[in-house]
Amino acid sequence: MTETAGDDPPVDRAPIFKAPIFKDGEADGRYTPEWFANRALIYGVLILWAFICLFPIYWTISTSFKIAPDVMKGNMLPWYDYDPAWLGWRSLGLSPDTIGSESTVREEFFKRFVNSTITALASSTLAVLLGSLAAYGLSRFDYRWAWMKNDDISFFFLSQLILPPVVLALPILVLYRELGLLDTRIGLILLYTLSVLPIVIWIMRDQFAGIPTELEEAAMVDGLGAWGAFFTIILPIALPGMVAAFILSLVLTWNEYFFAALLTSTHANTLPVMVASQTGSQGISWWSMAALSTAAILPLIVIGVFLERFIIKGMAAGAVK
Amino acid sequence: MSNSAHLHVVTSDNIGPARIRLGKGLIWGSAALLGLVALAQTSTSFGWFDFGFTSWRPTLYAFCLWATALCWAQVLIRGEHGKRALFVLPAALFVISLTVFPLLFGLIIAFSSWNLSSPDGRQFNDVQNLVQMWNDPFYWNAMGNMVWYVLAIIVEYAIAFGLALLLNAQISARKFFRVAFLLPLMLSPVAVSWMVGKSMLEARFGPIARLARFLGWEDPSFFSSPIMAKLTIMIMDAWTFIPFMMIMLLAGLQAIPKELTEASRVDGATGWRSFWEVTFPLMLPVSITAVMIRIIFKLKLADIVINVTSGGPGGATDTVTSFIFREYRERSNVGYGTMLAMVYLVLIVIFMTILMKLAARYARPRT
């Protein structure tokens, strides 16, 4: 991949519609009504879709500051048609007046939060580590194991993507029960690593394929081994790709629900499991659910806003060859 | 990836017979240890002889030891070549031990009746699970739903392509729109199912229900009729995953050489014709990749269904995954659930193979 989606196209690029390539006379340089209509249409659609994307997030955050009548009346604008209250956050123990006091809900929330953080970080790290090494090896050396060659081994790794989690879920459940790994973070970390590994290999293979082999050849002539060349020469170059793979894995593992719901019960629950269990038991306390959902999605919104470049880079890998 | 890209280095290792013996000793020694521990545990679990194990953990540790010894021995026996094998070996061992082994184990479970909460334990029951599956209308109903869900990808693809084209046009505030469009993908499906499914679609005072009433729909209910419920789930899933396809397509659009579109414009192609005859054919490989990955993700769809409708009304929104999840939750029969999952896997593999063959035929650039 030479160009990522994160790069803005050059400024001197002609508009995709009604673009005069040759400016022969005055008339070609002028803005026509047709041009304005086109612009209005484009921005109209863009703004509409941005609204569709952002409104649910706005709705959730604003609901966490509402009290019951505001929710029932469907008030939407803070200070204009409802007064923000800390009701939702108080029920989580996170409002200014309750933050200092003891709160079992807050403790519960933090426990889940820590579980989610640890499992997501650990499994992403492990996946990037294993996946980068494998992708590097497959892009540089010839392997032969039984009848499998490089392409077959690559396919073996990538084919894991097709495997639906439900196929592994029940056998793993039984195995974990025997191994005493049920309801532990390690159990979840192993499974999450497995589920993002193909994606990491997919991204990293693309990264390494873009790095010329002459670099390592030069390093090896200078006396470095395969691993030395990898760590000193290749790793720094491939680092942006690794960050992209890491963040994409982070998003996927943070949001994972299916395995977490099946394999954890009291100790290793992650945030999505907590959110899901609340919807069942107390369906109508909108504000506290909204506060909980906000707290669960906020870390990823922050990542999305600030590290958008890497996420796009990760997803664009493999799209363009 | 062509073979010429591979690194060719000639190495000369001096590996003595003692070193090879040490390496082989490591592999076989740790394997023997693994076998011994496993044997001891088997005998404990069958009650032949009590070694005092409470779980199968020790076997797991022995397995980890064996895996480490295997990696180390590669270097001992094969020198520089072994070091190269070490790049791929850990990942391969990891994947094999976490998928291939459970899958084989799953095959055994699939042909047995095993209720985890009953004390009887596992019992083989031949093909009873298969027979039960054949006569289970809910399973085939869920399978049928999957077809509809996968077909919805066509619409998602059209929307994603449109958005990618817009983002690729000359617009200002591109960065803002890109971030805004990307955000739905970052949200956890569970949070989305509450935010959108439970609160915004709430029939009495959810904002979308309000909007629907304002637009003249008397009694907006999104989950009461089967078709409506299915559509709602499709839309919610599309909302989360359209950004994914959009980004891949955008990357493809930006990789199209500017000269090509300009040349077509010089030749007089405008608007639609330029799109259908230049952009779309050029985007075909990227499109196929994006749609393929989207199909793979769609076949795993479960979180939203489990949390919003739990399959209802009357199984209209059930996906195979959510159905098996409920089947396990309600009856905790692992045997039947595993059989359903295995059959699903076989069908998916067949379906994806056909799809990839077709894609390979149509994606080939026409000359």
Looking at the structure, do residues A88 and A115 belong to the same domain, yes or no? no
CB contact under 8 A, B88 and A161: no
Give the range among A182-191, B63-72, B130-139, B199-208 with minimum mean pLDDT. Answer: B199-208
Predicted pLDDT of residue B347: 93
Looking at the structure, do residues B268 and B354 belong to the same domain, yes or no? yes
Which two structure tokens, joined as six digits, stand for B225? Answer: 């009729």
Q: Is the pLDDT of residue B281 over 50?
A: yes
B-chain CB neighbours of A170 within 8 Å are 106, 109, 324, 328, 334, 337-338, 341
Which of the given ranges, B37-46, B211-220, B339-348, has the highest pLDDT on average? B339-348
CB B44 within 8 A of CB B50: yes
End position of a domain, from candidates A62, A92, A122: A92
Arithmetic mean of pLDDT, B188-209:
83
Number of compact structural domains in chain B? 2
Looking at the structure, do residues B300 and B184 belong to the same domain, yes or no? yes
Higher pLDDT, residue A265 or A4: A265
What end-to-end distance do the CA atoms of chain B give, in Å?
22
From the list A43, A276, A308, the residue facing B190 with the nearest CB is: A276
Q: What is the pLDDT of residues B113-149, one digit of tens each?
A: 887 777 777 777 777 888 888 888 889 999 999 999 9
Q: CA-to-CA distance for A296 and A271, rounded, in angstroms? A: 7
Number of compact structural domains in chain A? 2
CB A279 within 8 A of CB B304: no
Domain contains A132: yes
CB A194 within 8 A of CB A256: no
CB contact under 8 A, A5 and B92: no
End position of a domain, from candidates B77, B110, B143: B110
Q: Mean pLDDT score of chain B, rounded to an integer?
A: 84
CB contact under 8 A, A316 and B192: no
Predicted pLDDT of residue B298: 92
From the list B56, B186, B244, the residue facing A179 with the nearest CB is: B56
CB A286 within 8 A of CB A71: yes
CATH assignment of the domain containing A306: 1.10.3720.10
Q: How many angstroms separate the Cα of A127 from the Cα of each of A78, A130, A202, A231, B51?
A: 43, 5, 12, 17, 36
Residue B367: band (very low, low, confident or very high) from pLDDT cuts 50, 70, 90: very low
Looking at the structure, do residues B190 and B310 belong to the same domain, yes or no? yes
Q: Render the burial of B300-316: b for 16+ CB within 10 Å, e for the rest.
A: bbbbbbbbbbebeeebb
Q: CA-to-CA distance for B127 and B130, rounded, in angstroms? A: 5
Find out whether the peptide bond into B313 is cis, omega within 30 degrees of 0: yes
Looking at the structure, do residues A65 and A127 belong to the same domain, yes or no? no
Domain contains A290: yes
Q: CA-to-CA distance for A106 and A86, rounded, in angstroms? A: 15
Which two structure tokens, joined as six digits, stand for B342? Answer: 């295995």
- B315's CB contacts (< 8 A; 6+ apart) are B138, B141, B142, B145, B323
Predicted pLDDT of residue A88: 78
Arithmetic mean of pLDDT, B306-322:
86
Looking at the structure, do residues A88 and A110 belong to the same domain, yes or no? no
Residue span of the structural domain in which B58 resides:
10-110
Looking at the structure, do residues A60 and A134 belong to the same domain, yes or no? no
CB A314 within 8 A of CB A1: no
Which two structure tokens, joined as six digits, stand for A109? Answer: 């929330």
Domain contains B44: yes
Domain contains A267: yes
Predicted pLDDT of residue B332: 79
Q: CA-to-CA distance for B38 and B227, rounded, in angstroms? A: 53
Residue A228: band (very low, low, confident or very high) from pLDDT cuts 50, 70, 90: confident
Predicted pLDDT of residue A11: 44
B contact residues 292-321, partner A, Cβ 8 Å cutoff: 293, 296, 299-300, 302-303, 306-307, 320-321
CB A199 within 8 A of CB A133: no
Predicted pLDDT of residue B74: 86
Q: Is the pLDDT of residue A279 over 60?
A: yes
Amino acid at site B4: S
B185 close to A (CB below 8 A): yes
Looking at the structure, do residues B85 and B151 belong to the same domain, yes or no? no
Residue B157: band (very low, low, confident or very high) from pLDDT cuts 50, 70, 90: very high
Q: How many angstroms separate the Cα of B238 from the Cα of each of B207, B226, B235?
A: 19, 18, 5
Higher pLDDT, residue A35 or A19: A35
Which residue, among B162, B163, B160, B141, has the nearest Cα to B152 in the 3D structure? B160
Q: How many angstroms separate the Cα of A139 from the Cα of each of A78, A211, A234, A292?
A: 55, 10, 12, 44
Domain contains A1: no
Domain contains B1: no
Which two structure tokens, joined as six digits, stand for B79? Answer: 């020198």
Domain contains A201: yes
Predicted pLDDT of residue B335: 86
Q: Is the pLDDT of residue A1 over 80?
A: no
Predicted pLDDT of residue A4: 45
CA distance to partner chain B, nearest, from residue A51 (Å):
8
Q: Mean pLDDT score of chain A, rounded to an integer?
A: 82
Looking at the structure, do residues A296 and A154 belong to the same domain, yes or no? yes
Looking at the structure, do residues B270 and B305 belong to the same domain, yes or no? yes
Q: Is the pLDDT of residue B365 over 60?
A: no
CB contact under 8 A, B192 and A56: yes
Looking at the structure, do residues A201 and A281 belong to the same domain, yes or no? yes
Q: How many CB atoms lie within 10 A of CB A161?
A: 19
Domain contains B119: no
Backbone φ, ψ for residue A67 (5° rounding): -110, 170
Looking at the structure, do residues B163 and B257 belong to the same domain, yes or no? yes
Q: What is the pLDDT of residues B162-181, one digit of tens each?
A: 999 999 888 888 889 989 99
Provide the H-helix boundaries in chain A.
Answer: 26-29, 33-63, 68-73, 87-92, 104-140, 150-159, 165-179, 185-209, 214-221, 226-229, 235-255, 258-263, 271-281, 286-306, 308-316
Looking at the structure, do residues B202 and B260 belong to the same domain, yes or no? yes
DSSP B96: I
Helix%, strand%, coil% for chain B, nearest 5: 75, 0, 25
Residue A6: band (very low, low, confident or very high) from pLDDT cuts 50, 70, 90: very low
Arithmetic mean of pLDDT, B240-265:
87
Predicted pLDDT of residue A21: 54
Predicted pLDDT of residue A121: 95
CB A272 within 8 A of CB A296: yes
For chain B, the maximum distance between any two Cα atoms, rounded to a whole number of angstroms, is: 86
Q: CA-to-CA distance for A304 and A293, rounded, in angstroms? A: 16
Domain contains B120: no
End position of a domain, from candidates A56, A72, A92: A92
Predicted pLDDT of residue A313: 83
Give the range among A116-120, B202-206, B334-338 with minimum mean pLDDT. Answer: B202-206
CB B153 within 8 A of CB B295: yes
End position of a domain, from candidates A36, A57, A92: A92
Residue span of the structural domain in which A50 resides:
26-92
Predicted pLDDT of residue A198: 92
DSSP A15: P
Q: Is the pLDDT of residue B34 over 60?
A: yes
Domain contains A195: yes
Give the range among A72-76, B96-100, B347-351 with minimum mean pLDDT. Answer: A72-76
CB B62 within 8 A of CB B37: yes
Looking at the structure, do residues A119 and A60 belong to the same domain, yes or no? no
Looking at the structure, do residues A85 and A113 belong to the same domain, yes or no? no
- B281's CB contacts (< 8 A; 6+ apart) are B366
Q: CA-to-CA distance for A200 and A127, rounded, in angstroms? A: 7
Q: Is the pLDDT of residue A116 over 90?
A: yes
Higher pLDDT, residue A227 or B7: A227
CB B324 within 8 A of CB B341: yes
Backbone φ, ψ for residue A3 (5° rounding): -125, 135
Q: Is the pLDDT of residue A2 over 50?
A: no
Give the range among A51-60, A242-251, B1-10, B314-323 with minimum mean pLDDT. Answer: B1-10
Predicted pLDDT of residue A49: 93
End position of a domain, from candidates B80, B110, B140: B110
Looking at the structure, do residues B167 and B288 belong to the same domain, yes or no? yes
Higher pLDDT, residue B11 or A168: A168
Looking at the structure, do residues B62 and B173 belong to the same domain, yes or no? no
Looking at the structure, do residues A77 and A123 belong to the same domain, yes or no? no
Looking at the structure, do residues A228 and A174 belong to the same domain, yes or no? yes
Looking at the structure, do residues B140 and B254 belong to the same domain, yes or no? yes
Q: CA-to-CA distance for B292 and A273, rounded, in angstroms? A: 29
| Sole residue written with tokens 């300009």 | B262
CB A264 within 8 A of CB A273: yes
H/E segment holding residue B112: strand B112-113
B-chain CB neighbours of A142 within 8 Å are 3, 6
Q: What is the pLDDT of residues A245-263, one digit of tens each?
A: 999 999 999 999 999 988 8
Looking at the structure, do residues A66 and A183 belong to the same domain, yes or no? no
Domain contains A121: yes
Looking at the structure, do residues A260 and A210 belong to the same domain, yes or no? yes
Output the DSSP codes for B51-89.
Answer: ----SSHHHHHHHHHHHHHHHHHHHHHHTHHHHHHHHHH
Domain contains B337: yes
B190 close to A (CB below 8 A): yes
Enumerate helices (H) and strands (E) in chain B, giving the number of each. Answer: 16, 2
Domain contains B126: no
Predicted pLDDT of residue B4: 43
End position of a domain, from candidates B51, B78, B110: B110
Which residue, among A83, A90, A99, has the nearest Cα to A288 in the 3D structure? A90
What end-to-end distance do the CA atoms of chain A give, in Å?
6
Looking at the structure, do residues B180 and B233 belong to the same domain, yes or no? yes
CATH assignment of the domain containing B152: 1.10.3720.10
Within 13 Å and on the Cβ side, how many CA atoms surround A237?
16
Looking at the structure, do residues B301 and B345 belong to the same domain, yes or no? yes
Q: What percent of chain B has pLDDT over 70?
A: 93
Give the range among A68-77, A278-287, B17-26 with minimum mean pLDDT. Answer: A278-287
Domain contains B67: yes
Domain contains A147: yes
Domain contains B3: no
CB contact under 8 A, B57 and A179: yes
CB A5 within 8 A of CB B247: yes
